[in-house]
Chains A and B, each alone.
Chain A
């Protein structure tokens, strides 16, 4: 029936991820986004090794406060005479880490709740009511209470900085998963009735593998969108918390913190608002484009066009 000569020329089933990567690299926005994010990451991660801050005495610091950008201080100094470039680098590390980790927590929770609620009818009611409950909570006061209750306890166990970091990402993560849970549940409800899910059941695929193999790959688009938006939201929420004095300690820089500190000097030194603001916007924008490219690359119907 088959041509025996044709057999050796047939490609082995290809690794899907190579196709995905090939398609991803054709998405210009995604490549630009990758580059920008790469530069930002290099700036915050490698920057501190290349740029050594002068150690100044308190008197010198007071003398050197509020300096404009110069060769000695490429981004100027702040109101306490600290090197702004150095603070941008340190702040970026924290902000990007908070954004990514909080996004992962929130997406993990949102997808899990959404898939379980959509796939198992019995869990739908309880889980969606839980989602409604979280949605109805006033988030900022809740965050304030959480930080107040747990900050010291966690700081005692994990150290003040890492403790606060864990607390903040967890707090942001568990208060921002609801939107993605709802979107995912809606998608799963529709997918569950599709015939390929029925076909998988008729093959005898157990529910957990039906979810992993058939449901999750098909809800990736809304999850991607939610994920990229969540990063932005997490960075902003963290700065709001820092601003209210409940995030990281005041001398611990984050982009959000720098932004809020700069607000009171906006008239005289606009660069102190613009630089962290620009950094946050660029991060969010580049992540958005990467998400966009990834979403397209993961969809075989779009791939190869």
Chain B
């Protein structure tokens, strides 16, 4: 892990996401008029460096999966820019996008649902090859077998159908399919959430091994904090469609900056029973506000234990408070005492992430 970061030279950005917004319209009433938006992803910006794993965590419904899918253009984003390897994704037309697909792939959450029940394993793994290569039948078979070896599936399974496999094996099929075209970037959308704990470790180890061998870059979406701590190099914490905190794994897990990250990390159970009994939990009150109608100021202001007046009126930008560590919280904002005029100005200004002036 962290090869790219440790190599000394400036790490190369593979994925750049700027101001990504994904709104789903709400239609209501007799005429199905648009009455609002579900702001599933609201102004999210981050980078993923080559060879690293960015963990994306947050509770259910905070927009993690939507974010991952929007990055691969499985949804048409409402606004924002996405670049993978320098190529613009967010507004590319269908044919350009199709040509870029091999570089970016996805591993899905539910291995049962992500495999067509009427196709054999060979056909499932071979589908990307059918779409993007002109291999002969024999070459394709060879490649399918090679992929099955890579993910640890027995070659004799090639003619079987997905229903004949266990959850872990199905996820391996899904991973083999994602690897078929030698992608650079893989979005892992909760790849372990539907699996047994014993199988989770196998799949995560497989993902790590493949990363080492093939130099893959992952966006690892999960709500399993201990798994993210294990696999990720950097971690982004999402709350209600926005990034609350983004930073290197160790720093973030040891000294969380954002109150939400603190609360989230305090919910991770300890393996040590002594530590577990003395563990201080931060229990958040109330529910997550509806993404259709988020609070006016900071999205977390309705539940934040450290809420201030300014939090209820101004959305905090994601700013770099320590080298490599970004947080969207007024606690760390130097210009907390702003006048009304400055507030309006900051509202209008787009968040510039990581202090970049472009």
**A residues in contact (CB < 8 Å) with B:** 1-2, 6-7, 10-14, 16, 194-196, 198-206, 209, 213-214, 217-218, 298-301, 303
Contacts and interface: CB of A to CB of B under 8 A. Distances in A.
Nearest to B97: A204
Given A6-B156, A301-B117, 20 more contacts: A2-B145, A6-B155, A10-B145, A10-B156, A11-B156, A13-B122, A195-B109, A195-B113, A198-B69, A199-B115, A202-B101, A202-B106, A203-B101, A203-B127, A203-B131, A203-B181, A204-B132, A206-B94, A209-B131, A218-B116
B114 A203 contact: no
Nearest to A191: B116
Given A10-B145, A300-B161, A199 B114 contact: yes
B90 to A, nearest CB: 15
Contacts of A195: 108-110, 113-114
Nearest to A215: B116
Interface in B99-151: 99, 101-102, 104-106, 108-110, 113-120, 122-123, 127-128, 131-132, 141, 145, 149-150
A13 B141 contact: yes
Interface string B175-211: 0010001000000000000000000000000000000
Given A195-B109, A202-B72, A204-B101, A213 B127 contact: yes
B74 A204 contact: no
Contact of A13 (B109, B113, B120, B149): B120
Contacts of B94: 206
Contacts of A14: 120, 159
A204 B98 contact: yes
A2 B155 contact: yes
Contacts, number: 95
Contacts of B72: 202
Nearest to A302: B163
A13 B138 CA distance: 10
Closest 3 CB pairs of A and B: A204-B101, A195-B114, A300-B161
Contacts of A204: 97-99, 101-102, 128, 131-132
A11 B156 CA distance: 7
Contacts of B307: none
Nearest to B72: A202
Interface in B63-113: 69, 72, 74, 94, 97-99, 101-102, 104-106, 108-110, 113
Nearest to A11: B159
Contacts of B321: none
A199 B94 CA distance: 16
18 contacts: A7-B155, A10-B155, A13-B120, A13-B158, A195-B108, A195-B113, A196-B115, A198-B108, A198-B114, A199-B108, A199-B115, A199-B177, A200-B116, A202-B101, A202-B106, A206-B94, A218-B118, A299-B118
Q: Give chain B's interface secondary structure class.
A: helix
Interface residues of B, number: 42
Interface of B: 69, 72, 74, 94, 97-99, 101-102, 104-106, 108-110, 113-120, 122-123, 127-128, 131-132, 141, 145, 149-150, 155-156, 158-159, 161, 163, 174, 177, 181
B74 A196 contact: no
Contacts of B69: 198
B117 A218 contact: yes
Nearest to A207: B94
Contact of A16 (B120, B127, B181): B120
Nearest to B189: A195
A218 B110 CA distance: 18
Nearest to B122: A13
Contacts of B163: 300-301
A7 B119 CA distance: 22
A12 B98 contact: no
Contacts of B108: 195, 198-199
Nearest to A303: B161
A205 B127 contact: yes
A152 to B, nearest CB: 47
A178 B132 CA distance: 37
A299 B105 CA distance: 28
A200 B116 CA distance: 9
A2 B147 CA distance: 11
B105 A203 contact: yes
A7 to B, nearest CB: 7
Contacts of B110: 195
A2 B69 CA distance: 34
A218 B117 CA distance: 8
Contact of B106 (A1, A199, A206, A303): A199
A199 B155 CA distance: 23
B159 A217 contact: no
Chain B CB count within 10 A is highest, among A6, A299, A300, for A300
Contacts of B174: 199
B315 to A, nearest CB: 31
Nearest to A298: B118
A202 B74 contact: yes
B36 to A, nearest CB: 19
A13 B144 CA distance: 11
Contact of A300 (B105, B117, B177): B117
Nearest to B94: A206
Contact of A196 (B97, B113, B122, B156): B113
Contacts of B117: 218, 300-301
Given A196-B116, A299-B118, A10 B158 contact: yes
A203 B119 CA distance: 16
Contacts of B106: 199, 202
Nearest to B142: A7
Contacts of B119: 213
A302 B58 CA distance: 40
A218 B119 CA distance: 10
A178 to B, nearest CB: 24
Nearest to B123: A13
Contacts of A217: 116, 118
